[in-house]
Chain A
Amino acid sequence: MTLQNNTAQTTDPTEAPSAKRRPKGALLRLISDPLGALGLGLILLTVLVAIAAPLSPYAPSALDPIHRFAGPSDLHLLGTDNLGRDLFTRVLYGARIALSISILSTALALILGLFLGVLAGFAPRWLDNMLLLLLDAAKSVPTVMLALVLVTFTGPSLWAVVIVVILVNSPAYARIARTQTMTLRHADFVDAERALGANAMRIVFVHVLPNIVGPILILAAMDIPIVVGIEAGMSFLGLGVRPPTPSWGSILYDGFSYIRDSAWMVIAGGLPIVITALGFTFLGEALRDTFDPKMAKK
């Protein structure tokens, strides 16, 4: 986006020069943006790492107390932790947790948000207002407080993380879905379809949803680093993944507890969070510029 600033003055799509300069396919356009390419690369790296985790010669929870707090070496690429577990292996397995939880919870938040948004868009005024109020209320509780209070009553688990993400993220999706539904609801082609006798289901699934999924998916991609952060943060506070399951957040917490013994645990736990966060953010920025030039900054 930023690197296109010079061409930004001529983003009028009808203008030939800038249209020519841009490659045609969406994917090509995406990776022709250096930030987009970098983002995609970082994400692919994370995904590969998550898939390849079992190739590591160590088990993620295998103890080796004699070699604890070891620095990086040929044997242990990122060193070992307070129990002598191989940090690199734990980071690899942590990628599985981080990715699967982020994707699962974002998908659920997306579905709930879409459902509530479309419902509010079609609903009578009073129901619409009520839903809006509920969304506002859900948004008004600081995230960590929400997580803390939820876990106090449910106990720490992966599902607690998923629920927090749904509560935190779905209001934003619902709002967009609602606005878009309201616009589409009275669009000419929908009126025509209705005149032809289409029922509400057909209008929602065939006409409304396909038109609103795009912008929301982009928003969701940009939210993934936040979700990775929530998972890591909750695991850091002991509210998410339970030990000995390796999560980047819990590696970070162990590292924090032993920060005076070894810096490597903290580095190993934090680095992957930074890498995925950057990857998804860069990709999200590039996606937004590629698919929605209106939203792109001047």
Chain B
Amino acid sequence: MLTYMLKRIALSVVVVVIVIAALFVMIHAVPGDPVRIALGPRASEALIAAYRERMGLDQSLLVQMLKFYVAILHGDLGQDVISSNPVLTVILAQLPDTLRLIGGAMIVAVVPGILLGVFSAIHRGSVMDRLTSILSVSVMAVPSFVIAIYLLLFFSIQLGWFPAIGAGRTAPEIVWRLILPSLALGLAWIGYTARILRASMLEVMEENHVSTARAFGLPERRIMFNYVLRIAILPTITVLGLGIGQMLSGAVFAEIVFGRPGIGKLVFDAIIARNYPVVTGTVLVTTVFFVFVNLVADLLIAWLDPRVRNDLAK
């Protein structure tokens, strides 16, 4: 168990190290001088030299790469070219809004997803089960930004139920304005969660301990919730871990469509302004976040699921 955990953690660290290296190579492999691109064609030579020195671009690549790693370990992701604030501070300021959005999307995905999944597993083959299955495949296929724009069009523009722009200041405002973007991000995952849970429940229902519980004459409801669901729900944790990564991608669109502040909006604006440090910093932070979430999901499973736990103990 401990070896598995250590291995899994080491793997995550190595992955992050590789991503950082790739990021570094990308920054430097690009044809054209990043300094000239950043400063524009009308920058004076003195300005270019100063900027080059400030960014450490006059040193050898290997030194630059080492410095890159060291700086990142110190939490230094560089400076926002426009505001001159540390990139990490800029990103952390935007993070809560994005996390709130992802949290909202998770609630949208998980609550109906679990209810539908349990229902479909118990009433396997019913009309509702088939409907859930077809609907979940359908919704899963549609990109979240299309859903976001249609929600905006219908509920904000046509019906006027929701404001179209902003994240709100007071608590009720914040919750109210989270509804549409959370729906846009989470909708696809309702069906996905339901499908995974259904398959997993059907699998667990055939295990010995369930038959034993049935043989002892326990009420069906109790068997389902205490013996089946408790184990069957675990694979959804892995799926939702992956889901958070996709939701991070979707959040970029949701934030742009609904005019919300957040990481996505930040990186999009940074690209238009050619604010490289903010772009690479955001990619790094989101990647670390994604790797971390998946690590936690895997470790949680190893810890919670007696089947995985026993496999690892062997």
B140 at the interface (CB under 8 A from A): yes
Of residues 92 to 148 in A, which have CB atoms within 8 Å of B's CB atoms?
Answer: 133-134, 136-137, 140-146, 148
A246 at the interface (CB under 8 A from B): no
Whether the pair B274, A256 counts as a contact (CB closer than 8 A) is no
Whether the pair B149, A256 counts as a contact (CB closer than 8 A) is yes
Contacts of B192 in A (CB 8 A): none
A/B interface sample: 8 pairs, CB < 8 A: A133-B14, A136-B15, A141-B290, A142-B245, A145-B248, A145-B286, A236-B253, A297-B195
0/1 per residue, B284-314, Cβ < 8 Å to A?
0011001100100000000000000000000
B245 CB to closest chain A CB (Å) equals 5
Given contacts A142-B290, A266-B150, A273-B146, contact A154 B30 (CB under 8 A): yes
Q: A5 contacts which of B125, B150, B195, B264 (Cβ < 8 Å)?
A: B125
0/1 per residue, B220-234, Cβ < 8 Å to A?
000000000000000
Whether the pair B141, A281 counts as a contact (CB closer than 8 A) is yes
Instruction: Kindly state the separation between the CA atoms of A259 and B259 in the bound complex, as whole angstroms.
Output: 13
Given contacts A2-B133, A145-B287, A153-B30, contact A298 B142 (CB under 8 A): no
Contacts of B246 in A (CB 8 A): 142-143
0/1 per residue, A266-298, Cβ < 8 Å to B?
110010011001101110010000000000011
Whether the pair A256, B257 counts as a contact (CB closer than 8 A) is yes
B252 CB to closest chain A CB (Å) equals 5
Given contacts A145-B287, A152-B274, contact A263 B158 (CB under 8 A): yes
Q: A277 contacts which of B19, B141, B152, B249 (Cβ < 8 Å)?
A: B141
Whether the pair A225, B141 counts as a contact (CB closer than 8 A) is yes
Contacts of A172 in B (CB 8 A): none
A150 at the interface (CB under 8 A from B): yes
Whether the pair B268, A150 counts as a contact (CB closer than 8 A) is no
Contacts of B290 in A (CB 8 A): 140-142
B283 at the interface (CB under 8 A from A): yes
With both beta carbons as reference points, the residue of chain A lying nearest to B30 in the complex is identified as A153
Contacts of A232 in B (CB 8 A): 143, 145-146
Contacts of A73 in B (CB 8 A): none
Interface magnitude class on chain B: 35 or more
Contacts of A136 in B (CB 8 A): 11, 15
Whether the pair A151, B146 counts as a contact (CB closer than 8 A) is no
Whether the pair A137, B15 counts as a contact (CB closer than 8 A) is yes
Given contacts A134-B18, A233-B143, contact A145 B249 (CB under 8 A): yes
Instruction: Kindly state the separation between the CA atoms of A145 and B248 in the bound complex, as whole angstroms.
Output: 9
0/1 per residue, B131-150, Cβ < 8 Å to A?
00110011011110110011
By a beta-carbon cutoff of 8 Å, the part of chain A in contact with chain B is 1-3, 5-6, 35, 133-134, 136-137, 140-146, 148-154, 225, 229, 232-233, 236-237, 252, 255-256, 259-260, 263, 266-267, 270, 273-274, 277-278, 280-282, 285, 297-298
Whether the pair A233, B145 counts as a contact (CB closer than 8 A) is yes
Contacts of A144 in B (CB 8 A): 248-250, 252-253, 264
Q: B19 contacts which of A140, A154, A225, A237 (Cβ < 8 Å)?
A: A140
Of residues 1 to 58 in B, which have CB atoms within 8 Å of A's CB atoms?
Answer: 11, 14-16, 18-19, 22-23, 26-27, 30
B131 CB to closest chain A CB (Å) equals 9
**Beyond known contacts A142-B245, A145-B286, A233-B143: 18 more, CB 8 A cutoff:** A133-B15, A140-B291, A142-B246, A142-B286, A143-B249, A148-B268, A148-B271, A152-B279, A252-B146, A259-B149, A263-B153, A267-B153, A277-B142, A278-B138, A278-B141, A278-B142, A281-B138, A285-B137
Q: B146 contacts which of A6, A274, A282 (Cβ < 8 Å)?
A: A274
Whether the pair B152, A259 counts as a contact (CB closer than 8 A) is yes
Instruction: Kindly state the separation between the CA atoms of A277 and B144 in the bound complex, as whole angstroms.
Output: 12
0/1 per residue, B232-270, Cβ < 8 Å to A?
000000000000011011101100110000001001100
Contacts of A233 in B (CB 8 A): 143, 145, 253
Whether the pair B141, A280 counts as a contact (CB closer than 8 A) is yes
Among A137, A142, A263, residue most surrounded by chain B Cβ atoms (within 10 Å): A142
